[in-house]
Structure 1
Amino acid sequence: MNPADILSKPLELRNGSVIPNRFAKSAMSETLGTIDNRVTKDLVTLYRTWAEGGVGLSITGNVMVDKCHIGEPQNVVLDDDRDIELLKAWAEAGKAGGSQIWMQLNHPGKQSPKMLNKDPVSPSAIPFRKELRGMFATPRALTGQEIEDIVQRFARSAAIAEKAGFDGVQIHGAHGYLVSQFLSPHHNQRTDEWGGSAEKRMRFVLEVYRAIRGATKPDFCVGIKLNSADFQRGGFTEEESLAVIDVLSAEGIDLVEISGGNYENPAMAKGAEKGKVKSEIKQSTLAREAYFLEFAEKVRERVAVPLMVTGGFRIGEGMASAVESGATDLVGLARPLAVEPDLPNRILAGEFFVSAVRPIKTGVRMIDNMALMEVSWYTRQLARMGRGKKPRTHDRGMLSLLEVLGVMASRGVRTRFRAGE
């Protein structure tokens, strides 16, 4: 098997759009917007880096559809076209060398920290588990009119993205954000037309999808990132996820990216095969490297929708094996591209590739077991690339922790100052 031959093949989507190879940069929250949530030149530089590194499709970090509801300090919010020139530059940079760039659209729902939002919303007023309540307030249940307004916000943001030159948008329906909350029987305990049965809990994502389709042209791509499951008692199950994919496929969605988990059960932040030399890599590892391939195969048995699997890919041969097997059409990459943005070019040039991604080790067990530390460290590498610097491929232990804590504290102070606290 020659990974370059397999991964270099173009992928034609349902609407005729063509992704030039099988490498897809999955969304990572860059937090490179301004303190008042506007686009910056750093995003332009960052996405040009990935495009020039050979990725076939880049999906941006979560761009919020409502300035009153953001997930992190310095998220970009797209609710008007006042930054249209920078948006155009961002789109153009992401398409360098023939790549595609899609904008991920998101609403955090109740996953909006207290320092950013004292009035978070959700389908139902269900709080986080006890350990997280210090960070997240109990949400209030959305009214029917508010739900309709959010649907239209997704559509408006998609129309602006298309105007700016993005090739498509991805609805963030995973990881416990608002779309995911509507789908989950744990978070959505409504008894009206937006909740109750699985079909009614599915209504919100369908209305968002249809509104986006109505606001954009037929050749504009629309995809979704969806949990295979929440991995949470009483939450969204594999069977329900398969049913959602069935319906969205029938509606004509262009691409489904499969992930899993949420803030309370972050399956998307697990570790993977790391650091093995070629002779130590078993064929079973190559064939089953990513976390969600088995679920993807279940999807394959039901519908022919194009699939992207994200989570755990670290080895070039494993990436190629997943595509060759038919389990996925696109290899979704996040952390590997945060430290080695040119990995697609290297694999396509014939290099045997094993990612440099390693667990973050500070020596403090509680910190090392927290997904937050790892996510923050990789986010710092995106910031370095946004400034035109090379990312670090390995953390620096306690120094990395101090760097991350310093940045988080600074952003928190600036955010609270802007809010007038």
Structure 2
Amino acid sequence: MTSPLAQSITFSRSGKVAPNAFLKSAMTERLCTFSKEDLNERGKPTTEYDHLYKVWGEGEIGTIILGNIPIDRTALEAAGNAIIDRRSSWDPVEAFKPVVAASKAHGSLVIGQLTHGGRQCPFDVNDHPVSSGDVRCPDMMGMHFGQPRPATLEEIDELVEAWAYGAEVLYKAGADGAQAHAAHGYLLSQFLSARVNTRTDDYGGSLDNRRRLVFRVIEAIKKRVPKDFIIGIKMNSADFSEGGLTPDEAKTVAVLLEEAGVDLIELSGGTYESMSFEHKKESTKKREGYFVEFSEAIKSALKGTARVCVTGGFRSKEAMEGALLSGATDMVGLARPLCGEPYLCRDLLSGKVNAAKENKVPAAVQTGTAIAQLSAIAHNKPIPDLSDESQTNDLVAAITGKKDESKPVDGHEDRSYVSTEKQE
């Protein structure tokens, strides 16, 4: 019997067809240019960035999500992000064409994830970030965050246009779609969360108000791109923090997003505060997917015009196929496993392997080790094998205990020890 992972996925609104059910979720690559002083020198794609996606493009991944890509060069998730900001002096369309072409070369659909760090922007990038309110993100994992201020109404209007511009750039660069990042505590997630969103105007209070910015962004993107361009969103199935977005609120938002014409809803969960990629009951451990149970409830409320993807926790072919066959999801999202095994999807489809390699790295530093693996792929060097205990110990020691000994790699600062956006 043909594996459900090998079945093509048709996106209803756009009509685009992915060759299989795998989705490479957006991650922080940190391979693009960065300057502390010169904002124009931030976020330009590099040959290393292009090469990383060339390799993933060879891996028979049905849908590849580029990212995350900030739409504001002062609101990065981390130094080294690729950026699309209309204020930059360089042409983003021409800059992103090579990475899009490399990703699409073997038949994958390519979608760019557009994001904004909000209050989760590191202090050394922006010490006074914009957010939905004035609730500061607590310091954690060696990161320090500045005191945020609520975005003004004028700034909100500018943000809507920035997201729409980013989608138009991706379209002109040859991408198949754009995904708004409304998960993991980033700016759109900050607006959705009653815990963080302390506003008293039309963007705060009720869920209808808190979701307003998200839906303005979706409508603005629709006006800037043709109908055959995929419009997607990544959102939390829940924030897993007191006062944050609840599962019922997530379901309500997902239903309305489908009605608004969103093609793809990728479900994850948690924020920096909740660390919910470690949210695992015994039943969850067996099914692997961290958010499958939440996805079942959300997907059952949809009409079926939006494709649902669950990202986080999948490691074995059996669990992936089980999630698809149960109807809990239409697609399987992978991130961290593709850092160490960029051809994992191809190998699972061919039967060469039945699961990703074991990751023996402590959870607290897995983002750092994943970034180190991405750097190795990008620079065409051997990928650290995190199932090998000796390699794992050496890499963890380098990340946690030898920060000052980091050396530039082919002209790019080694930022692999900085843990911010989590790889699922």
- TM-score by length of structure 2 reads 0.87
Partner residue in 2 for 1:297: 296
Gaps of 5+ in 1: 274-283, 361-367, 416-421
Shift of 1:350: 2.2
Which range moved further: 288-297 or 131-140? 131-140
Which range moved further: 319-328 or 192-201? 319-328
Partner residue in 1 for 2:39: none
Cα 1:134–1:168 shift into 2, 3 Å: closer
Question: C-alpha separation between the residues in 2 aligned to 1:408 and 1:85?
Answer: 36
Please say if residues 317 and 348 of structure 2, whose CA atoms lie closer than 8 Å, have aligned partners that are also in contact.
Answer: yes
Question: C-alpha separation between the residues in 2 aligned to 1:133 and 1:318?
Answer: 34
Question: C-alpha separation between the residues in 2 aligned to 1:20 and 1:159?
Answer: 24
Q: Which amino acid aligns with 2:162?
A: R
Q: CA RMSD in A?
A: 2.5
Question: C-alpha separation between the residues in 2 aligned to 1:29 and 1:131?
Answer: 18
- Among 197, 209, 214, the residue aligned to 1:188: 197
Which range moved further: 68-77 or 386-395? 386-395
Q: Are 1:227 and 2:236 an aligned pair?
A: yes
3-state SS of paired residue (1:170): strand
Cα 1:99–1:266 shift into 2, 3 Å: same
Cα 1:128–1:341 shift into 2, 3 Å: same
Cα 1:357–1:338 shift into 2, 3 Å: farther
The equivalences for 1:29-68 within 5 A come to 29-35=28-34, 36-68=42-74
Which range moved further: 219-228 or 28-37? 28-37
3-state SS of paired residue (1:377): helix
Q: Are 1:174 and 2:172 an aligned pair?
A: no
The equivalences for 1:247-258 within 5 A come to 247-258=256-267
Partner residue in 2 for 1:399: 394
Question: C-alpha separation between the residues in 2 aligned to 1:330 and 1:23?
Answer: 6
Question: C-alpha separation between the residues in 2 aligned to 1:272 and 1:21?
Answer: 29
Question: C-alpha separation between the residues in 2 aligned to 1:137 and 1:286?
Answer: 36
Cα 1:243–1:336 shift into 2, 3 Å: same
Partner residue in 2 for 1:95: 104
Please say if residues 335 and 357 of structure 1, whose CA atoms lie closer than 8 Å, have aligned partners that are also in contact.
Answer: no
The equivalences for 1:327-342 within 5 A come to 327-342=328-343
Please say if residues 97 and 174 of structure 2, whose CA atoms lie closer than 8 Å, have aligned partners that are also in contact.
Answer: yes
Which range moved further: 133-142 or 378-387? 133-142
- Among 11, 15, 26, the residue aligned to 1:13: 11
Q: Deviations over 1:62-112 (max 9, x none)?
A: 101011211101111111461433311110111121111110000010001
Percent identity, aligned pairs only, is: 38
The equivalences for 1:99-178 within 5 A come to 99-129=108-138, 135-178=144-187
- Among 240, 243, 248, the residue aligned to 2:252: 243
Cα 1:144–1:17 shift into 2, 3 Å: same
Q: Which amino acid aligns with 1:106?
A: T
Shift of 1:393: 2.2
Q: Which amino acid aligns with 1:39?
A: P
3-state SS of paired residue (1:63): strand
Question: C-alpha separation between the residues in 1 aligned to 2:176 and 2:247?
Answer: 30
Shift of 1:311: 0.7
Which range moved further: 212-221 or 176-185? 212-221
Cα 1:132–1:43 shift into 2, 3 Å: closer
Cα 1:134–1:329 shift into 2, 3 Å: closer
Cα 1:403–1:64 shift into 2, 3 Å: same
Shift of 1:28: 1.0
Q: Which amino acid aligns with 1:121?
A: V
Cα 1:132–1:56 shift into 2, 3 Å: closer
Partner residue in 2 for 1:26: 25
Q: Which amino acid aligns with 2:338?
A: L
Question: C-alpha separation between the residues in 1 aligned to 2:77 and 2:352?
Answer: 38
Question: C-alpha separation between the residues in 1 aligned to 2:53 and 2:146?
Answer: 34
- Among 368, 377, 400, the residue aligned to 1:385: 377
Question: C-alpha separation between the residues in 2 aligned to 1:404 and 1:132?
Answer: 12
Please say if residues 286 and 321 of structure 1, whose CA atoms lie closer than 8 Å, have aligned partners that are also in contact.
Answer: no
Q: Deviations over 1:325-351 (max 9, x none)?
A: 211111100111111111111121123
3-state SS of paired residue (1:245): helix
Question: C-alpha separation between the residues in 2 aligned to 1:114 and 1:411?
Answer: 22
Cα 1:21–1:402 shift into 2, 3 Å: same
Please say if residues 240 and 270 of structure 2, whose CA atoms lie closer than 8 Å, have aligned partners that are also in contact.
Answer: yes
Cα 1:408–1:154 shift into 2, 3 Å: farther
Aligned length: 395
3-state SS of paired residue (1:38): coil
Cα 1:414–1:344 shift into 2, 3 Å: closer
Question: C-alpha separation between the residues in 2 aligned to 1:49 and 1:313?
Answer: 21
Question: C-alpha separation between the residues in 2 aligned to 1:387 and 1:179?
Answer: 33
Which range moved further: 404-413 or 63-72? 404-413
Q: Deviations over 1:169-195 (max 9, x none)?
A: 111000000000000001111111111
Partner residue in 2 for 1:277: none
Q: Which amino acid aligns with 1:400?
A: L
Cα 1:325–1:131 shift into 2, 3 Å: closer
Partner residue in 2 for 1:281: none
- Among 368, 374, 378, the residue aligned to 1:376: 368
Please say if residues 285 and 318 of structure 1, whose CA atoms lie closer than 8 Å, have aligned partners that are also in contact.
Answer: no
Question: C-alpha separation between the residues in 2 aligned to 1:12 and 1:286?
Answer: 30
Shift of 1:141: 1.1
Question: C-alpha separation between the residues in 1 aligned to 2:234 and 2:404?
Answer: 27
Shift of 1:203: 0.2
Cα 1:350–1:410 shift into 2, 3 Å: closer
